[in-house]
Amino acid sequence: MKHIVLASTSTLPGGEYLAYLQPVIQKLFEGIREIIFIPYARPGGISHDDYTARAASAFAGAGIAVKGLHTFASPVEALHQAEGFFTGGGNTFLLVKQLHEQQLMDVLKTAVEKGTPYLGASAGSNIAGINMQTTNDMPIVYPPSFVTMGLVPFNLNPHYLDPVPGLLHMGETRETRIREFHTQQEIPVIGLREGSWIEVNGNTMSLRGPLRARIFRAGEEPVEQEPGPLF
């Protein structure tokens, strides 16, 4: 039975890293002593060690130890043995490239499908979808494949932004980009606003947090989803 939380962001404006998700962390990882952190997305180019230290500090309040996947001699074996996972945000292209090149994507997918709890934030949430092609990130590297874990039957667009009334230029809006995606693929996309997350327990999926999400389906007008059960 899957136990998954996919958050739009790790940090709300003015808040500490993972602070708003602390109750979610305690529930998701209840009874777990140590989790593996996957630091490959490296926001702002932060080192794997420094990124892991940031995650460890946030999890310390819940009494959970954190070990970076990059520190294991055998990352594959580490994923097999893990009690839980957290994949942080950053650049989705870099994260996906690392997971595919080390042949870890399918190993991680299998572990989560077997019930190992998984928390993703931003890029870490993107990789739970069918593919990473609705990310907001710059393609700073070229992954061997855009296919991700497919733990949920849709793609995510974390940090979803609505147009700002009166602002003369924002470039292409998120909605425009997702509509472009749907000229090529029919995968549903959930625009996940800041402070929201998706909770998966077995086959039950729910939107959590204070805000609605925007759901896009190919050939249809987008709809607003209230917090609660999805689909």
What's the Cα-to-Cα distance from 212 to each of 119, 127, 140, 151, 207, rounded to whole Å? 20, 22, 31, 22, 8
The runs of H, that is alpha helices, within the chain are: 22-28, 48-60, 75-81, 92-101, 105-113, 123-126, 174-181
Q: Name the active-site residue from 10, 125, 137, 182.
A: 137
Q: What single letter denotes the amino acid at residue 75?
A: P
Count of H helices and E strands in the chain?
Answer: 7, 12
Which of 122, 125, 182, 196 is an active site residue? 122
Strand, coil or helix: 41: coil
Residue type, 48: H
SS3 (DSSP) at 87 = strand
The yes-or-no answer on residue 137 being catalytic is: yes
- Alpha carbon separation from 92 to 15, 21, 57, 87 (Å, rounded): 23, 21, 23, 11
Per the CB < 8 A criterion, the answer to whether 152 and 6 are in contact is: yes
Indicate if 122 belongs to the active site.
yes
Active site residues: 122, 137, 159
